[in-house]
Structure 1
Amino acid sequence: MAVPVSPARRCLQCAAFLAAFTVVMTILLVSTDVRVPRSRKLLNLSEDLDFRNVVQDDPQLISYIQAVHLRYPQGSGTIDGNQSAPRLLPLWTPLVAKLLRYKRGGVFVEAGAYGGGRPSDTQWLERSLGWRGLLVQSNPLDFLALRKHTRPGSSCLLGCLSPMPYPKEVSVRNAWKQVPDSPADHLFSRVKCFPLYSLLLAVNTSSVDYLSLSSDGSELQVLKTIPMDRVNINVIGVQWHETRAEDMLSFMARHQYHLKKKFDQFYIFVHQRVET
């Protein structure tokens, strides 16, 4: 016959259980407490995704870019005489056109297009000379601004140029300036980054008349991923903020590019074959 448990004993058992539970949970919380600054708590703190086994010209990678990430032009990209030039024309755009002898039907790649409200390097080339090409923007808000511009000769990609010869996934700010009333001034999202050579293959070209490159400090690393023996780029414009300009100049010289002109922090390089 079972011995009945008194109310007092039941209370003691419950109290012991609660005390043990409290001690265990306290130990767990203390041992797993990782103090992260408030500004970083909005970040995706997972490891960047690297696809190290994927080569730049992998056919499956190229098909994936074409099917999932490219936004294709909505027109033929032919010249429309009724379209006026942008009101804010970058200072170096006329120089690019002059270096290429005002070539019609040229090909461009612009990374960082419409970033931070800036005008596009290539809009005038497309509208006035019938060029076509690829616009790359990693900032989701700037990408929306990019999409608002009617560019019938331009494919678009929300993403960035990888500083490695394989795809990456990274965190980027969703805004180019501080977001009002946000807890940490900025919101972040994850975007895919692809090697430039992979993107060229995705748009079916290996020859580029003008490459405009602005990629938040990774410009030189991006250029180093390009297999120069398989790609022809005539003129390269580089946004270069680093103090060691000789690193960029030395790299470009090894690949037969020389500095044509510098506009503040924007460098225009031309390949020697263009002026021969």
Structure 2
Amino acid sequence: MSVDKTRANRWVSLALLTVLGVLGLVFLLQAAAMVFGPSKSACTKQVCLAKFLEGPPAFNDVGMSTYLRNNHFLPPTASGYQLSGINGRTANFDAILQYIKEYFNNKRGGVFVDVGAGDGEYRSVTLELEKTLGWTGLLVEPNEHLYKKILKKGRKAQLTKACISPYSYPTVLKLAYPVIKEGASEEEEVKTLSQTKLHRLWDQQIETGLVAFEAQCVPLENLIYAAGITKSFDLLVLDMSGTDLDILLNTRMDVLPAFEMILIHANGANVGNDIGGYFLECNMVIKKVFGNSAETASYVLVKFDARKDL
């Protein structure tokens, strides 16, 4: 009988030691987590998954807007303009600019959001509005080469190299631009770099003749809010870069501040029908089309006014 008691005591002691060992291990893991931070697997399974299940971020998410301003935004330049003089102006460009100025009655101090701002100078409508009428706003250009060129221009608007997410949530996407030919002029280089194409996450290979890079992409509504544009603004410029109409499909137009006009550059794609149908649901209509073909057209859309548009 005493042998059985001794054996039972040993099992109890072993069980207690095992429990104490497990508790000690848990304590050590928690201490390590506090010192070294959570592991990637912990983030993925606990924090990140929980955040994902909450759904897309609110357009006015304070944490996100603060992070974007601190890490992905630059303020307007205080110094003078440092322009190259390579502006690519054409009769078509001048007609677009004149139409916008007349529509707004040469309004001073307007606000724009320019998505696909290029080098900030070449055929930039917002630059001309900025220089001649004192407009300002937000320039969005994810291409690193073009972004560096904008930095030298002295633009009087906020700048971000985040791209616009084609989804309702932030993500890192693969972008690509055509290879620049050896010996290309500055104008040819800017035109080539501006032809940035959006490639889906599931695309495993980049087409021949394209250079791939990754960019942080954020929903348009989150970028606009982070820029401090929370009241109505005047002009939204979208350079579609051929195939990027998808960026509009998941943009929550209903939470964007009210705006008066959209200028869309087709830049290689026939998007006229898609644009007309999509924006009609947003109570905006195509008011004017500039260009000689659908692939090179620029579309001006304004708020629908039954007194003028019926």
TM-score (norm 2): 0.61
Q: Is the 8 A contact 1:117 1:142 kept in 2?
A: no
Q: Is the 8 A contact 2:290 2:298 kept in 1?
A: yes
Work out the CA distance in 2 between the residues paired with 1:117 and 1:189: 23
Q: Is the 8 A contact 1:136 1:157 kept in 2?
A: yes
Per-residue Cα deviation, 1:98-123 (whole angstroms, up to 9, x for no partner): 11111110000111112598321200
Q: CA deviation at 1:157?
A: 0.7
Candidates 268, 289, 302, aligned match of 1:262:
289
The gaps in structure 1 that reach 5 residues or longer are 1-49
Work out the CA distance in 1 between the residues paired with 2:110 and 2:180: 37
Following superposition of structure 1 onto structure 2, how do residues 195-234 of structure 1 map, counting pairs within 5 Å? 195-206=219-230, 207-216=232-241, 217-222=243-248, 224-234=250-260
Structure number with greater CO (CA < 8 Å, separation at least 6) is 1
Per-residue Cα deviation, 1:139-184 (whole angstroms, up to 9, x for no partner): 1111112112111x211111211112211211223x5543549xx6
Work out the CA distance in 1 between the residues paired with 2:120 and 2:139: 15
Change in 2 beyond 3 A, CA 1:155/1:230: closer
Aligned residue in 2 for 1:95:
99
Aligned residue in 2 for 1:143:
147
Work out the CA distance in 2 between the residues paired with 1:128 and 1:116: 15
Work out the CA distance in 1 between the residues paired with 2:137 and 2:174: 26
Work out the CA distance in 1 between the residues paired with 2:60 and 2:278: 23
Does residue 121 of structure 1 match 2:125? Answer: yes
SS of structure 2 residue aligned to 1:142 = helix
**Cα-Cα RMSD:** 3.3
Aligned residue in 2 for 1:238:
264
Number of residues of Structure 1 aligned to a counterpart in Structure 2: 218
Change in 2 beyond 3 A, CA 1:115/1:73: closer
Q: CA deviation at 1:253?
A: 1.5
Q: Is the 8 A contact 1:210 1:237 kept in 2?
A: yes
Work out the CA distance in 1 between the residues paired with 2:178 and 2:167: 24
Work out the CA distance in 2 between the residues paired with 1:87 and 1:248: 26
Work out the CA distance in 1 between the residues paired with 2:240 and 2:63: 25
Change in 2 beyond 3 A, CA 1:76/1:235: farther
Q: CA deviation at 1:132?
A: 0.7
Per-residue Cα deviation, 1:198-248 (whole angstroms, up to 9, x for no partner): 111111113220111014322353264133254211110112344353221
Q: CA deviation at 1:70?
A: 0.2
Following superposition of structure 1 onto structure 2, how do residues 1-276 of structure 1 map, counting pairs within 5 Å? 52=52, 53-55=55-57, 56-75=59-78, 88=89, 90-91=93-94, 92-114=96-118, 118-151=122-155, 153-173=156-176, 175-178=177-180, 180=182, 185-206=209-230, 207-216=232-241, 217-222=243-248, 224-240=250-266, 241-243=268-270, 245-264=272-291, 265-272=297-304
Work out the CA distance in 1 between the residues paired with 2:71 and 2:174: 19
**Worse-matched range after superposition: 120-129 or 218-227:** 218-227
* Matched residue type, 1:213: L
Q: Is the 8 A contact 1:135 1:156 kept in 2?
A: yes
Q: Which has the higher helix share?
A: 2
Change in 2 beyond 3 A, CA 1:186/1:219: closer
SS of structure 1 residue aligned to 2:125 = coil
Percent of residue pairs identical: 25
The gaps in structure 2 that reach 5 residues or longer are 1-48, 184-207, 292-296
SS of structure 1 residue aligned to 2:217 = strand
Work out the CA distance in 1 between the residues paired with 2:238 and 2:256: 19
Change in 2 beyond 3 A, CA 1:115/1:76: closer
Runs of 4 or more consecutive aligned structure 1 residues displaced over 3 Å after TM superposition: 50-54, 115-118, 175-181, 184-187, 241-244
Q: CA deviation at 1:192?
A: 0.7
SS of structure 2 residue aligned to 1:102 = coil
SS of structure 1 residue aligned to 2:107 = coil
Q: CA deviation at 1:54?
A: 4.2
Per-residue Cα deviation, 1:29-80 (whole angstroms, up to 9, x for no partner): xxxxxxxxxxxxxxxxxxxxx9854413322111111000001113299xx9
